[in-house]
Structure 1
Amino acid sequence: MKKIFLLLTISIFAALLVACGNGGSEEAVTDDSEESEETAENAENEETEEAGGTISIAASPAPHAEILEEAATVLEEEGIELDISIVNDYTTPNRLLADEEVDANYFQHTPYLETEKESHDYDITSAGNVHIEPMAVYSQDYDSLEDLPDGSTILVSNNPAEEGRFLSFFVDAGLVEIEDGIDIEDATFDDITSNEKNFEFDNQTAPELLVSMYENNEAPAVIINSNFALDGGLSPTEDSIVVEDGNSPYANLVAVRTGDEEREDIQKLMEVLQGEEIKQFIEENYEGAVIPTE
């Protein structure tokens, strides 16, 4: 009996040890499983944050902000939200970008960007072109550049990067000549060598004020950027006396801080802005007043 009792005691003790051991193993397996699930969940969250998140972007009201609003509906499906700040001047957006108050801006073309970088030592760059806004000349009283009387004042914006662009209308019409060897994109008013009708180019006005000056008939002719014209209810193709064609080198771009053009969300933004949906939106809504880049 003693031997039997001893054997039973040993068996029960062994069973208890096995049971305790199994319990510990189950607990360890459970802990490991929970840690694995947590790690996978964290990785998934990090991946989502990397691919998605919010892009803050400063833009002119029209057409830039309108195009961005359309792009936002597409980007939302990718988990990317656009936080659009409307800025109605040409100096604030690059400062906001350089000061890291926004992630990007959308309002300018390459010549202006290069001028701003040189003037302010901004470390910003283009993430890609989106559209062209053909600039146009408007007049209340005359139907063509040739009809403008001798000595006419031509109101233009105070943007020095676009002086060659303003002059191109008159050079193409044979009314003004510039110094040989200077590309029209780089030309300034100082490069004029012939101006037979003695046109005076008045560049003292902020671009956002030119629409009201045209409406008030303050000069025989006013050259207006299409974004301000559209915002003021003017159609560059219908209301102007001459408009740039689609070969203009002044494509509007999205600018970011240098290096951020490699960000996944910025690349996705550009993919959408340069995609077929946005091209179709531009063509259908602006009827030639805004032209998508190729």
Structure 2
Amino acid sequence: MSLKTLGLAALLSLAALPALAQTQTVRIGATPGPHAQILEAVKPIAAQKGLDIKIIEFSDYVVPNAALAAGDIEANSFQNQPYLDNQKADRGFKIESVALTVNFPIGLYSKKHKSFDALPNGATVSIPNDPTNGGRALLLLQDKGLIKLKDNVGFKPTPLDITDNPKKIKFVEIEAAQSPRVLDDVDAAVINTNYATQAGLDPVKDPITRENPKGPYVNLIAVRSEDKEKPWVKALVESYRSPEVKKFVEEKFKGAVLTSW
């Protein structure tokens, strides 16, 4: 190879460096607690792949998809597929899952009763008021034998779908984020793991009953449909589903949060 050819190759190589070294900012919406904490562990892994992750915390389950659809963020990590499907059907969002992440088995908590069997007749139980998490709560209680629901009710049953309630349980529907705050006022409350940990509850030891971790409620990373094939999405997914992040989840949450990879 001539010196001229070598010089040209070197120039081309140098010219390519800025494009390769360019860092892309990716804003990711998440709820406070484990979702945001896991993304903090993802950040240094993603940085090695040229992604500068900015975590935007949202205190509820409604705004992160609206923010994603509007382009205020590039991705979110807080929801499961049944919830995303419900949001898309109701609001027409053009957003899609690109990877499964972690599962937070939902639990029933009580300050008044030490066991599930100790729930008395006429007990008041709070469940989340959004269709997906409220339905998930009722399916948990059916699985544990407390109630029966209509056949083929799907993933979004409501208290109106209860066909058998031998203990005459009274159900109170409240915003999921408020669930820990009503524990003093109800016999038991179904609480999502992220809100339980925020309230200082132990999602492994404290529930009087807990959801089977296998099922449709594994969380996911969502992006706009138009972005799903972009290189940064692949880099984000690889960073999240890395051995380093898996180790972090296992050591940090000790069974309260389960990885899907």
1:211 corresponds to which of 167, 170, 180: 180
Would you say how many aligned residue pairs link Structure 1 and Structure 2? 259
Counterpart for residue 187 of structure 1: 157
User: Judging changes above 3 Å, is the alpha-carbon distance between structure 1 residues 248 and 144 closer, same or farther for their aligned structure 2 residues?
Assistant: farther
Q: Is the 8 A contact 1:145 1:170 kept in 2?
A: no
**Corresponding position: 1:247 with 2:214:** yes
Counterpart for residue 93 of structure 1: 64
**Identity between Structure 1 and Structure 2 (%):** 32
Structure 2 distance, partners of 1:155, 1:81, is 40
Structure 1 distance, partners of 2:234, 2:56, is 20
Alignment of 1:159-198 (within 5 A): 159-183=130-154, 185-198=155-168
The amino acid that maps onto 1:193 is T
Structure 1 distance, partners of 2:14, 2:47, is 22
Shift of 1:251: 0.8
Q: Is the 8 A contact 1:137 1:243 kept in 2?
A: yes
Alignment of 1:123-142 (within 5 A): 123-142=94-113
Shift of 1:82: 0.5
Unaligned runs of 5+ in 1: 1-29
Structure 2 distance, partners of 1:142, 1:248, is 28
**Corresponding position: 1:146 with 2:146:** no
More helix by share: 1
**Corresponding position: 1:48 with 2:21:** yes
SS at match of 1:238: coil
SS at match of 1:240: coil
Unaligned runs of 5+ in 2: none
Counterpart for residue 266 of structure 1: 233
The amino acid that maps onto 1:286 is F
Q: Is the 8 A contact 2:107 2:191 kept in 1?
A: yes
2:90 corresponds to which of 119, 134, 149: 119
**Corresponding position: 1:227 with 2:198:** no
The amino acid that maps onto 1:195 is N
Query: Who wins on radius of gyration, i.e. which is larger?
Result: 1
TM-score by length of 1: 0.82
Counterpart for residue 67 of structure 1: 38
TM-score by length of 2: 0.91
Shift of 1:265: 1.4
SS at match of 1:201: strand
Q: Is the 8 A contact 2:131 2:156 kept in 1?
A: no
1:285 corresponds to which of 241, 252, 256: 252
Shift of 1:35: 8.8
